[in-house]
Amino acid sequence: QYGAIHRLTYQHPLGNVKPLDKLFNRGPYPAGGDIDTVFMGAVLPNQPEQVVIVPSYRQIVNLADLNASLSGHAPGQSGHPGSRHYGDFVRPWLRTEHHPMLFERQTIEENMEGRLFLQPR
């Protein structure tokens, strides 16, 4: 199995320091593909087992019905490791799963998790 030797770690800049790697990094995960496949996973010649480059975003746009469009990204929506959205898209990304892209205000409001208000001081 290709993913048994090719491993992907989503590495945070602060994850280079132990033991912070356990908090900030996500992985390693099995990763298939190479630079010539759709689910690309590039490696360095001197580290063929460590995947260092993967696409971070996928988008499938239905121009006939934008509300049927899909997208996916990894590792997560948030850059804060304390957030539940820090690495929440890794597993769906690895399974090539996508989420709906919402374009209409009503659909967005029906599916939103919350609302963030930013006000100047």
Span 24-81, pLDDT tens digits? 999 999 887 777 887 788 888 898 888 888 888 999 999 999 999 999 999 998 989 9
Least confident of 3-12, 28-37, 69-78, 86-95: 28-37
The amino acid occupying position 114 is G
- Rounded distance, CA 97 to CA 74, Å? 11
The residue with greater pLDDT, 118 or 55, is: 118
Mean pLDDT to the nearest integer, 88-102? 92
- Rounded distance, CA 4 to CA 90, Å? 17
With beta carbons less than 8 A apart as the criterion, state whether 35 and 65 touch.
no
With beta carbons less than 8 A apart as the criterion, state whether 101 and 108 touch.
no
